[in-house]
Amino acid sequence: MTIIGFVRHGVTAWNKEGRAQGSSDIPLDEEGFEMAARVADRLADEQWDVIYSSQQLRAKQTAEVIAQKMGNMDVRIDPRLREVGGGKIEGTTEAERIEKWGEGWRQLDMGFEPAELILARGTECLTEIQQQHKGKRVLVVSHGSFIKRMVQALVPDPAYEKSLANTSLTVIELADDENRCELFNCTKHLS
């Protein structure tokens, strides 16, 4: 069986401002790099065989900090691991969205990436990872909305529907019969 360890990227200035990031390429801020170092310290004490990352800067920077701590492991970039496209709301806060489109902005066509496309690209990527790394432990550094959707697809359970914290670790055991969530949204490295 293959183990996937999903890590959400460290915090960014836009996270702190409550701005929708989506496909916007926002870097980690200073605190984000500190968070990445803390999750890297935690993961260095565990056995991981390979690291995959979204190409977006905030995830890639987090993955590079982890890889360096783990003896300069290669980071394999895969664009299918990118964050969900946020359409017109990218770069805006909730208050700005309400001001621009009104309270009912969620009911408008905002150009979000369709759910079926997110699931298709994510499932395709994870299936390839599972096939290429059978029996291995694989870290996937990505984004909150993307990871949340993948976890829900792999282990459909309402317990795993909440938003993920920055640098949280979620571990999924991919098995032939039934996938199992071993750890969800864990941030013990931050306390």
Which amino acid is residue 123, in one-letter code?
T
Note whether 36 and 10 are within 8 A (CB).
Answer: yes
Q: Which of 9, 90, 113, 143 is catalytic?
A: 9
Catalytic status, residue 189: no
Catalytic status, residue 9: yes
Q: Report the candidate in 118, 106, 188 with the shortest Cα–Cα distance to residue 151.
A: 118
Q: How far apart are CA 140 and CA 2, in angstroms?
A: 12
What are 23's two structure tokens?
Answer: 């496909």
**Alpha-carbon distance values, 154 to 47, 124, 137, 177 (Å):** 22, 12, 16, 12
Q: How far is CA 69 from its chain centroid?
A: 19
Note whether 65 and 9 are within 8 A (CB).
Answer: no
Q: Which of 64, 83, 90, 113 is catalytic?
A: 83
Sheet holding 50-53, edge to edge: 75-77, 50-53, 137-142, 2-8, 169-174, 180-186
Catalytic residues: 9, 83
